[in-house]
Amino acid sequence: MTDVPRRERNPLEPFACRIGCGACCIAPSITTPFAGMPNGKRAGERCAHLDDGNRCRLFGLPERARFCVELRPEPAMCGTTDTEAMVILTRLEAATSPRTLP
C-alpha cells in the first residue's frame, strides 16, 4: 500500500476504486466460503487472491466472493488514502462483526 491518493475514474460511476489500495481485501472478514478460502477470511487477513499490486486476481470472474461483488467503493469507506481506508474498514469491522471465524 502507498499513501498517494489516486483514482482511475469511470465517468459512469461517481466514485471509483483507488486501484492498488486493497484495504477492503484485507480489513473486513468474509464469513462465507469462497474459492481458495473455504473458511472465508478473518478480519485483517490478506485475501489469497490479492496480487502483489493489491489487485484482485478474481476480478470479473464468477469465483470472486459475493461479498466483494456487492461491495461498492464510496468515500465514507475508502477515504482519500489507502491508510485511511484501512483505518475506516478496521473500525467498521470491529463495530459490526461480533462473530469470529474458526
Return contacts of 52-55, CB within 8 angstroms, 24+ apart.
53/20, 54/1, 54/20, 54/21, 54/22, 54/25, 55/19, 55/20, 55/22
The correct pick among 1, 50, 87, 92 for binding ligand SF4 (CB under 6 A) is 50
The correct pick among 1, 43, 68, 87 for binding ligand SF4 (CB under 6 A) is 68
Residues 5-34 close enough to bind ligand SF4 by CB under 6 A: 17-18, 21-25
Three-state DSSP class for 37? strand
The correct pick among 1, 31, 73, 93 for binding ligand SF4 (CB under 6 A) is 73
The count of residues interacting with ligand SF4 (CB under 6 A) is 19
Query: What is the Cα gyration radius of the chain?
Result: 13
Q: How far is the CB of 64 from ligand SF4 (least distance, A)?
A: 5
